[in-house]
Amino acid sequence: MSVGLKFPSSILPINGIRLSACCANIYQKKRPDVTLIELSEDSKVAGVFTRNLFCAAPVQVAKKHLAEFNPRYCLINAGNANAGTGDQGLLDTNYTCKTLANLAGCKENEILPFSTGVIGEKLPVDKINDALPELIGKLSTDNWIEAAEAIMTTDTIPKAISKKISLGDSTISITGIVKGSGMIRPDMATMLAFIATDANIAKDLLEKILLHAVNKSFNRITVDGDTSTNDACMLIATCKAGNKYIDTLNSNEYELLKNSLIDVFCELSQAIIRDGEGATKFITIKVTGGKEETECTNVAFKIAESPLVKTAFTASDPNWGRILSAIGNSGINDLNINNIEVFLDNVCIIENGQRASGYTEEKGKNVMLQDEITLLVNLNRGAYQEEIWTTDLSHEYIKINAEYRT
């Protein structure tokens, strides 16, 4: 059950993008589990991938192909991560790329492969290859929702967002899909994200936007503190819109497009948290008054990933001592605890390093009973501030992961 997340609607097609999805029978239960995204020839593509050193075979191949050619296709399978599979995993990934290239009439390294699912299992190559003719035959501009559903693993709901903006006299469309629910922690998360726009923009600027957007979105979420072997985020510009070519940082058009894309990235990343495994709470953690960005994020993630804090949120228990302890363990050696303030929504629970004089357990409990909560920590030692999003840790999370392979 997700927290405040609805089935996506009004998803915009992107000129230059076609998608399809079908069932390759990778799962025991019959469901869509393979997706194909076709990109027009002049598309610009930027990507970022997991920093987990045990990265999956498709990550290795996708990074290599992206450095060699402009991609024409993204091929995604759910149900099998093809990670921890050694040289055979690389051979299997390359074989699916080769098969698709032969069917689609493109080069093998114009295909970016992606996988998500169980680690350590051999990729069902034959099942995926057998599904390729159907995927090619079903390609359509209107299949964003179907694609979002087919890349899901433990997700309970597909995640897709669209946005329209004006750049000069042109209307620009942005649409993105993402999967992710558990094993969520930068860099980046157990997630696959595909965001596309028809904006006409230089590739180097697209890459700059991607790095900035990921840092403010997918690198600001955590469910359980585990970084995936497979995560990837792709930003695609088909350049099919009629806007004036964006080739400089110093333009209003660049700033508007960048900020609009960041908004989409943030909504998608928050959708992952809202659909976090077993989540009953959507929690925003804001840390202000830091000397630098990293100490703000360190404090925020220390709180967000504390099992004691997370279970207190599950129980709607305003056990503020757990929050105080997490702040003190965040690695700021010269932290003056007497300057710290902590708020649950608008309720001050800690001031001068101790329980606030006006705080009552009833006030704290009333906030903790909410589905959506903001926890604010003011370090009062600088001008920096950062924000991350997380979940609680419920019995259902344990159940989902205990039964994941059964």
Q: How far is the CA of 270 from the CAs of 103, 267, 296, in angstroms?
A: 37, 5, 19
The pair phi, psi for residue 123, each rounded to 5°, is -65, 130
d(CA 131, CA 144): 18
Whether cis (ω within 30° of 0) applies to the bond prior to 368 is no
Question: What is the rounded distance in angstroms from the CA atom of residue 260 to the CA atom of residue 210?
Answer: 12
> Of these residues, 154, 190, 222, 390, which one is catalytic?
190
- Pairing of the two strands 192-197 and 170-179: antiparallel
Beta bridge partners of 76: 35, 114
Contact 163, 34 (CB under 8 A): no
Contact 187, 232 (CB under 8 A): no
Helix (H), strand (E) at residue 58 = helix 57-68
Residues in the chain: 406
Best CA proximity match to 226, nearest among 171, 160, 277: 277
DSSP 218: G
Secondary structure letter of residue 381 according to DSSP: S
Distances (CA, A) of 64 to 57, 98, 99, 227: 11, 14, 18, 21
Written as six digits, the tokens of 41 are: 């020839």
How many Å apart are CA 347 and CA 307, to the nearest integer? 23
Secondary structure element (H or E) that encloses residue 178, with its range:
strand 170-179
Q: Where are the alpha helices (DSSP H) in 138-165?
A: 144-150
Cis peptide before 152 (omega within 30 of 0): no
Q: Is the torsion defined by CA of 61, 148, 83, 134 positive or negative?
A: negative
- Closest of 307, 271, 272, 325 to residue 393, by C-alpha: 307
- Residues 6+ away with beta carbon under 8 Å from 313: 281, 283, 368, 373, 392, 393
d(CA 326, CA 181): 24
Angstrom CA distances, 219 to 188, 261, 275, stand at: 5, 15, 17
Is 190 known to be catalytic?
yes
Give catalytic residues, as residue numbers. Answer: 190
